Amino acid sequence: MEFSNKYIVGFALVVCLVCSLVVSLFAVGLGERQDANKRLDLQTNILAVAGLIEEGQHPSPAEVAKMFESISADLYDRRTGERVGPAPAGYDVAALMADAKTPGKGTPTSAVDGLEDPSRVGFLPDRLLVFHVTVPGKEGWVLPIWGNGLWSTLKGFLALEENLQRIRGITFYEHGETPGLGGEVDNPRWKAQWRGKRIFDDAGALRIEVTKAGKAADPDFQVDGISGATITSRSVNNFVRLWLGEAGYGAFLRANTGRA
């Protein structure tokens, strides 16, 4: 049977349209699943750093959702420390970082008087995203943090005790530092050093710091740096101190602890 050129062209177009539709549907479905997996990973990191699950534990999406019923996400004015209101549904760290670079929603660190930015955070959101954990016996706060290391931007969370005076934990959910060197920011043994460290001294001065490897002498305030990863260690020190200082969460910490 012979087909006309018109029939062949029409048939080819129909096949192309059907294939395009199928590919588009798969792409949309895959994209939605990838977004859901990213959201689940971030939530799992928040639960782990807050001490609600063990590190490396992978609860089901339903279990994560249940635990997040006891975690509120709120926005705070970075300059005053006052609560603005609940974070919009779906507002996450990616949106927070995007806002930081958006005129009217963020401020370049170069525009903050007297601020040095050695870790090149670059931009600060005018409204900070803060997670408040209200699980009985596990009350605390989780703060998104980020800054540049040697090879990459390190993105993570810093958990604080309910009184905002001591660190409960730190974790990094995304980075590209060298495995075995700067990549040791993921090492549970190194992260365990942060637990219980004081942030401020009795006079209210910011004292938490990461020292050179083997140089930590004050168990209240100092975290031993990573051997062979001086630049990454110094970068983590710089941006953690920036975020906990006046340019970052400083006003929020004062407003919620009564610290002068």
Write the pLDDT tens digit of every residue in 58-105. Answer: 999 999 999 999 999 999 999 999 999 999 998 999 999 999 999 999
List Cα–Cα distances, 232 to 24, 39, 97, 183, in angstroms: 41, 26, 21, 9
**Structure confidence at residue 259 as a pLDDT band (50, 70, 90):** very low
DSSP 88: P
In the prediction, which pLDDT does 238 show? 97
Distance of alpha carbon 64 from its chain centroid, rounded? 17
Return d(Cα 245, Cα 197) in angstroms, integer.
16
C-alpha to C-alpha distance for 127 and 99, rounded to whole angstroms: 9
| pLDDT tens digits, 220-237 | 999 999 999 999 999 999
Q: Quote the pTM value.
A: 0.86
Task: For residue 38, give the DSSP letter.
Answer: H
Distance CA 174, CA 153 (A): 8
Which is higher by pLDDT, 161 or 8?
A: 161
Q: Is the pLDDT reported for residue 258 higher than 70?
A: no
Token reading at 194: 């942060």
Tell me how far apart the terminal alpha carbons of the chain are, to the nearest angstrom. 91
pLDDT per position as a tens digit, 34-51: 778 889 999 999 999 999
Over range 117-132, report the average pLDDT.
Answer: 94
Regarding beta strands 209-210 and 123-125, do their DSSP bridges make them parallel or antiparallel, or are they unpaired? unpaired
C-alpha span between 200 and 231 (Å, rounded): 24
pLDDT in tens, 129-174: 999 999 999 999 999 999 999 999 999 999 999 999 999 999 999 9
- In this prediction, residue 3 carries a pLDDT of 59
